[in-house]
Structure 1
Amino acid sequence: SPFAAGERLYRTGDLARWMEDGNVDFIGRIDNQAKIRGYRIETGEIESQLLRVEGVREAVVLVRSDANGQKALCAYYTPDTGAELAVNDLRGALAQELPGYMIPSYFVEMERLPLTPNGKIDRKALPAPEGEAGSGTEYIAPRNELETKLAAIWQEVLGLAKEIGVHDNFFDIGGHSLRATTLAGKVFKELNVNLPLRDVFRHSTIAAMAEAIARMERREHEAIPQAEEREYYPLSSAQKRLFIQHTLDGADQLYNMPELVQVEGEFDLDRLEAALRKLITRHESLRTGFEIVKAEAVQRIYPQVDFAIEHHQADKEDAAQIEQIVRSFVRPFDLGKPPLLRAGVIELEPNLHILLFDMHHMVSDGVSMAIVIDEFSSFYAGEELPPLRIQYKDYAVWQQSKAHRERIGRQEAYWLQTFEGELPTADLPMDYERSAARSYEGAHLEFDVEASLSARLRELAAERESTLFMVLLAAYTVLLSKYSGQEDLVVGTPVAGRTNADLEPVIGMFVNTLAIRNRPSGDKTFLSYLEEVKETALGAFENQDYPFEDLVERLNVKREPGRFPLFDAVFDLQNIEERDAELEGVSLKTYELDHLEEAKFDLTLFMYENNGALSGGFFYATKLFKEAMIRTLTEDYLRVLSQIAENPQLELSRIECHKPAAGAKSAVDTIEFAF
């Protein structure tokens, strides 16, 4: 029996799913997974959907590299006898079931698919596609210089190698809120026009955007200047917050950013160390230490730092031993002793290793990690990179300069107006009393959203000319309102903070936190409330350069023991594209370890796209909530999503949720739930 002790099960590599009638639906091969522009894609899922299209007899989907070396999906299909299949019809049928990033760029009709002697499809014999990729919209080339420049900017922001037509919609071909912000920054830098974020939504085709820009006043892009060389430099606003947090009891590991990668194949450790040394030399932030000078925190850049890879050995079957090594590797950094980066290797077998990597948030963020992976891969391959024009210290000096502070004065006015009057607090029911001493002990609970519901939520966003972020945030605030009994809520959300295009290649901590205030009163329909959330989100994103720390100070927020100022709940739609390091001669995959969890906030909902559907989870403070409470919260969030997808005109008071578990504690005496 394969279930007998000591015997192994055979891993077939087939991917399938249980159907409601008990049958097993074969989707494809696990080894047919690919990653394009940060999205992990199961090509078998696309094939499965293609085969459901009327008139398609056979289908296979491959990942091809185009003339520019960019990966793209290519679908090969054979039609039923007499069937006439238009590419636009195929693309439209897939768009009903799959997200935009899973729609093939190329479609190739064939009389029959080539087979191997064993009767299987010979993927290597499939021809390279001809012509340009398409988006489903009739391709019309840029007709003037402005449209041509915009098309080039769009291609760079969206990571597309294919030609973009003037009537392609930014949000239909991979755009979202984060990319819209990046787009606005690039337009400002390259066209000298300050394009408001909401205008990206209003004018979401190249033709419409070019027409709008042509009417706008030209303004010189503000290049970040190089700072004069000095002994030490000021901290950025984000660094100031982290520096204080790092010194608090129990928070010395709160802002570590560990990554674990399993490496299979011939791995050159000398090249690994040389590549990391080049990375440290290239980026001053990786040679930066922090100290107190005249009662003020400052950063000092060192010309050289000591760096060496930590070497370990372990039995690949001994998970406890591996976990112990990882736990000893992920330890507090001394902020005064750079580099705030460490790397290690666990050798499991001669050609099987786990690469350990850890950085402190003071010198890195999510976008920075992607830069690290890209540049590390280049250095490992022996490539050279052009020098950086500016470094992180230049940004910190520029951000703290009087001239820049004056320029963001209008943003300050927006935030002060948003929070005028009494500040709201959302007191969620809790399983334990809140302690005056903040604890960062946390756990997380993940969930999946069905593919059909995910598709409907995307449709809802498109119908209302909003984004998935706005729909999911609106649903989250409805849930929080149900649980807290309050109709004036603030939810935090992180943003990349790189609105100036000069910052794109720089490693450092740029993240800002936006405090988004919404009022989900029960008499509103979800559609009308979504319009409000859209406006408040756009307003927040357009004014995202104003530091959260400054807002807290200007509002004179009363600091409550054990609580974060302004909000306790966070929403994070993870749009930062994952990067896979590509190293010659080895295969890489993320090594999962679930025992390194800490909770920066009471409750954080994170969402991400996963093979065409949405997935997510709640990070929560285990000193406040039991897992059972979070399970109920998860079920209710999915219930809210289902109800708004089925009937967006539903009044918020009629959206149903379960009550929290009996005995849950809250700062309010009673909680009324509107069912």
Structure 2
Amino acid sequence: NNDLTVRQIREAMSQGLPDYMLPSYFVQLTHMPLTPNGKINRKALPAPEQSLQTGTEYIAPQTPIEEILVSIWQTVLGVPQIGVLDNFFDLGGDSIKAIQASSKLLQAGYKIEMKYWFKYQNVAELSLHVKPVTRLIDQKEIIGEVTLTPIQRWFFENKMEAPHHFNQSVMLYQKQGFDVIALRKTMQKITEHHDTLRMVFRQTEQGYEAWNRRIEEEELFSLEVMDFTGEVNPAAAIEEAANVIQSSIDLSKGPLIKLGLFQCKEGDHLLIVIHHLVVDGVSWRILLEDIGVSYGQAVNGEAIQFPQKTDSFQLWAEQLSLYANSPEMEKEREYWNGMEEIQTGLLPKDKEENYGLIKDSEAINVEWTKLETEQLLKQANNAYNTEINDLLLTAVGTAIHQWTGMDKIAVNLEGHGRETILSDLDITRTVGWFTSQYPVVLPVEVESSISQRIKNIKMGLRQVPNKGIGYGVLKYLTNHQEKQTFTLKPEISFNYLGQFDQDLENSLMQISPYSKGDDVNIHQKNRYTLDINGMVIDGSLSMTITYSNAQYYEETIQELADLLKEALKGIIEHCVMKEQVDQLHHFEEHEIAESISSKKVEKFTDEFFNSLYLKDIPGAIFVVVQDGKVLLSKGYGYSDVENKIQMNANNTLMRVGSITKLFTSTIMMQLVEQGKINLYEDIQAYLGDIEIPRKINYPLTIEHLMSYTTGFDYPDQGMEKLTNFDKSKPITLKDFIKQNMPTVVYTPGERYNYENFAFVLQGYIVEKITGIPFHQYAKEHLLKPLGMYNSSFIQTLELQNKLATGYDIENSKVPRYEYSPVDNSTGSMLSTGEDIAKFMIAMLQQGRYGENRILDSTSVKKILSLKSENNSEISYSSYGFETNFHPNYMGENIFAKSGNISGFSSFMWLLPEVNTGAFIMCNKSFINKIEIFEAFMNHFYPSLQGRKSLQLV
């Protein structure tokens, strides 16, 4: 049936299979491939691809912006069909691909901040943050002095043996040969357009200074044409000629770009050499694209045209120097000082030489299959919400640990350096050396599992401020350099250069198999003991380990290479199979902590509630669920101290406060499933004649309401009026909103602020869409399907008789009170431990409770996914959930929500990876809920991150 969607298939299968057995991916086949014996040929089964690969239903673009984004994604990612719900990173995207896509978006007349690529990862969400280009970037010729950037200062500080010979190069091949005249025209225009390529570096008494030459100043590039058609051994002739070109650059006079065209019988080989001071990996992508397109134009006799320039390297360097002394940089100093204090060891060597020279260098290449590479790029990151560097560095750390026994491994990382710290500048198409360098320490403990290593390394990398760009800024640009004593010098360098598969796809040029010569003078000292570089070419990942034969024997490094290959293969297999294998076969011994039994939970809870931790709490109910079952639902203490009425988890009601918001978010997702609301549409479409005051002209969406990121100035406006409200002066929900509507003063989605008014608005939208009061809709469509018959959003007489007595922080009785119906969707819910257990089970079982379903699995996944993990300005929030302790738990998927209301406190946390949830509610205005959470986690899940159990007293 060609009309079936992934969602329909998944929903049908979920009726008869437990969640852990549901496939993650679907591929439609006309027939099953068979072996000669008539059995299914599993090796011939195709890997998932296109929209089915991401497990999402294909939805075509609906708006012009979505169409533009889809077209750009298809070009940059090399995927023929992309839907608006497909995930950029699941399809093989990375930070460098995001820069390329931003560049193409700019060419179309639109722009987007780089941080949004990581926060909104599909076209539907990302399109809402695309803006038309309003600032025209000056297209004039850039001339004059250029401030040295940190990486350039690092270069000159190292006092290279031959600083003129420190290049990056590429050798292109074209079977039909190159048109020399067209090639000269192309390179002339390239060097005129990309101003940085005209830079020179002159030595003065104060050191080196950079200068951007005028277009008419001397030659901008050199091109030597050599006829090797009669050569018996063209490879050797080309290598010899290439080495001459590589060593011939003059830093003070220029040009810093030189080409050699080697004409051979089987076609032409074009060497392009550029000094590293003016180019980096991202720049090469820009240049290769421009060379391919402009050469084609020149050959066809067309005028050579380039996309508009982005901000100049000169301006970036100047602004970066100013940023170096900003308060933001001072905040980073403590982090980097802390990095210096970590004790790491030295790599063992076969020989005693310190570093050796480049001429002593050898390299061993490690390759992975195209299938393994595809799984790494498109599937593996789903398991732990990682980026490719997280997994590659986990493999490197694991291999080094197995090779040396070291458990703290210092690595120098190189990043593209184009971070959005200068948000007003656009450098997506700017050529230059932007690279950032910074140290990280990879923790690889002896007994740690693959899962633990991935999580530990991922979280360590997430804690690096601004992807490490500040390290060099602090070291080389601040006015406080005398305070800075960065001395950590990792012996290992790692750099993942990304994917080069699409960079020449519209050109007849290919990468030449011949040697480019030596990029760097061979008499210079090696900067690192081990230099590991990786990239994807022709669909396969390869990593090169460069070492000195003055320090190591080949077989020693080959052993490391073999360990690296197996480590990454193991990580890929683990991540791809995680959902199925973890649940069915306990794929790794320590991946999931042992199942906790009812008896163990009750023993722990009894001890805990009888300890000094809770001696001042009148009463409490504690609930734990796991794998769709209630392990514990038990009351402690009194619901009424004066009358000695015991807490009863089944019958005692308490106010759960802001836990209400989780139910509101669930209801909103129900309406999304029904097609009645759109998460990404401006809420004005649902408010009718209620106007939202705005000082920021930017969409305010349903998602912003649900994730505490509205940008309101007073997010609790009018909420103090809802307790003990005057019944004689009832107010409608609409009138309350009109009277108290806050103003949007910050860009929605950019900053977290705990808010109640956003959930009042959601309640109003539910009423307006459904035509019935919020509490009534919630009862029929959420509470009833879950069998939550002792729960309500309004206080009826029947329920009031079951309501516990509330106490303040001094344990004085809080008088009974009612909440205004206006607050139904924010904090008015009453419930029991037994009822809350049902809700937690449903959320952990992908929306299903017994025979009923409150949400489909896709909606639950949206709720149980962080909306702010990549934005440090926002707390760790999702739809309804919000917490600020996520970083302390090393990236584990923990979703928590607290509730505080006069006389009552509550706290819920869900751990989807171990299918466990816990909930506590007390009849006291304030308790230390985080202490309870940590005691539970430390006791039952210490192995997840090496926690130690607390001793209860």
State TM-score, norm by structure 2: 0.48
Cross-structure match for 1:235: 148
Once the two structures are superposed, residues 144-169 of structure 1 have per-residue CA deviations (whole angstroms, 9 ceiling, x without a partner) of: 89x84995697389456867434222
Q: Does 1:577 align with 2:500?
A: yes
| Shift in alpha-carbon separation, 1:632–1:579, aligned structure 2, 3 A | same
Once the two structures are superposed, residues 277-300 of structure 1 have per-residue CA deviations (whole angstroms, 9 ceiling, x without a partner) of: 111122221221111345042111
Correspondences of 1:429-448 after superposition (within 5 Å): 429-435=348-354, 441-448=360-367
| Shift in alpha-carbon separation, 1:395–1:170, aligned structure 2, 3 A | same
- The structure 1 residue matched to 2:267, chosen from 352, 355, 362, is 352
Output the CA distance in 2 between the equivalents of 1:361 and 1:277: 20
| Shift in alpha-carbon separation, 1:267–1:638, aligned structure 2, 3 A | closer
Output the CA distance in 2 between the equivalents of 1:151 and 1:397: 32
Cross-structure match for 1:524: 448
Output the CA distance in 1 between the equivalents of 2:272 and 2:111: 39
Output the CA distance in 2 between the equivalents of 1:352 and 1:230: 38
CA contact (8 A) 2:144 2:213 kept: no
Correspondences of 1:18-37 after superposition (within 5 Å): none
| Shift in alpha-carbon separation, 1:454–1:230, aligned structure 2, 3 A | closer
Q: Does 1:649 align with 2:588?
A: yes
Deviation (angstroms), 1:603: 0.9
Please give the root-mean-square deviation of Cα atoms over the aligned residues, in Å. Answer: 4.4
Q: What SS does structure 1 have at the residue aligned with 2:362?
A: strand
Q: Does 1:248 align with 2:160?
A: yes
Q: Does 1:369 align with 2:345?
A: no
Deviation (angstroms), 1:348: 2.4
Deviation (angstroms), 1:476: 1.0
The amino acid across from 2:366 in the alignment is F
| Shift in alpha-carbon separation, 1:399–1:328, aligned structure 2, 3 A | same
Once the two structures are superposed, residues 250-309 of structure 1 have per-residue CA deviations (whole angstroms, 9 ceiling, x without a partner) of: 5652x2112222332253211111211111122221221111345042111221232442
The amino acid across from 1:412 in the alignment is E
| Shift in alpha-carbon separation, 1:192–1:411, aligned structure 2, 3 A | farther
- The structure 2 residue matched to 1:474, chosen from 381, 394, 402, is 394
| Shift in alpha-carbon separation, 1:167–1:348, aligned structure 2, 3 A | closer
Cross-structure match for 1:625: 552
Cross-structure match for 2:697: none
Output the CA distance in 2 between the equivalents of 1:222 and 1:509: 25
Output the CA distance in 2 between the equivalents of 1:51 and 1:170: 19
Q: Does 1:176 align with 2:99?
A: no
Q: Does 1:427 align with 2:346?
A: yes
CA contact (8 A) 1:168 1:206 kept: yes
- The structure 1 residue matched to 2:565, chosen from 635, 638, 642, is 638
Cross-structure match for 2:722: none
Correspondences of 1:595-610 after superposition (within 5 Å): 596=518, 600-609=527-536
CA contact (8 A) 1:224 1:398 kept: no
Deviation (angstroms), 1:354: 2.1
Output the CA distance in 2 between the equivalents of 1:413 and 1:313: 56
- The structure 2 residue matched to 1:287, chosen from 195, 198, 203, is 198
| Shift in alpha-carbon separation, 1:488–1:154, aligned structure 2, 3 A | farther
| Shift in alpha-carbon separation, 1:486–1:184, aligned structure 2, 3 A | farther
Deviation (angstroms), 1:522: 1.9
Unmatched runs of 5 consecutive residues or more in structure 1: 1-49, 59-89, 97-102, 106-132, 559-564, 653-675
- The structure 2 residue matched to 1:393, chosen from 314, 323, 342, is 314
Output the CA distance in 2 between the equivalents of 1:161 and 1:460: 18
Cross-structure match for 1:24: none
Once the two structures are superposed, residues 494-529 of structure 1 have per-residue CA deviations (whole angstroms, 9 ceiling, x without a partner) of: 211223471121111111123222221224322122
The amino acid across from 1:432 in the alignment is K
Once the two structures are superposed, residues 15-51 of structure 1 have per-residue CA deviations (whole angstroms, 9 ceiling, x without a partner) of: xxxxxxxxxxxxxxxxxxxxxxxxxxxxxxxxxxx99
Output the CA distance in 2 between the equivalents of 1:404 and 1:225: 25
Q: Which is higher, the Rg of structure 1 or of structure 2? A: 2
Once the two structures are superposed, residues 170-224 of structure 1 have per-residue CA deviations (whole angstroms, 9 ceiling, x without a partner) of: 2222322444577799999967778478x53xx544556689x79xxx9x99999
| Shift in alpha-carbon separation, 1:627–1:547, aligned structure 2, 3 A | same
The amino acid across from 2:319 in the alignment is W
Cross-structure match for 1:512: 436
Deviation (angstroms), 1:556: 1.0
CA contact (8 A) 2:238 2:515 kept: no
Cross-structure match for 1:323: 239
CA contact (8 A) 2:390 2:461 kept: yes
Cross-structure match for 1:499: 419
The amino acid across from 1:649 in the alignment is E
| Shift in alpha-carbon separation, 1:275–1:540, aligned structure 2, 3 A | same
Deviation (angstroms), 1:419: 1.0
CA contact (8 A) 1:365 1:510 kept: yes
Deviation (angstroms), 1:409: 1.4
Count of aligned positions: 517
CA contact (8 A) 1:446 1:617 kept: yes
| Shift in alpha-carbon separation, 1:590–1:613, aligned structure 2, 3 A | closer
Output the CA distance in 1 between the equivalents of 2:504 and 2:283: 14
| Shift in alpha-carbon separation, 1:322–1:536, aligned structure 2, 3 A | same
Output the CA distance in 2 between the equivalents of 1:159 and 1:583: 14
The amino acid across from 1:566 in the alignment is K
| Shift in alpha-carbon separation, 1:54–1:204, aligned structure 2, 3 A | same
Cross-structure match for 1:115: none
| Shift in alpha-carbon separation, 1:285–1:209, aligned structure 2, 3 A | closer
Q: What SS does structure 2 have at the residue aligned with 1:528?
A: helix
Q: What SS does structure 1 have at the residue aligned with 2:464?
A: helix
Larger RCO, structures 1/2 (Cα 8 Å, 6+ apart): 1
| Shift in alpha-carbon separation, 1:464–1:264, aligned structure 2, 3 A | same
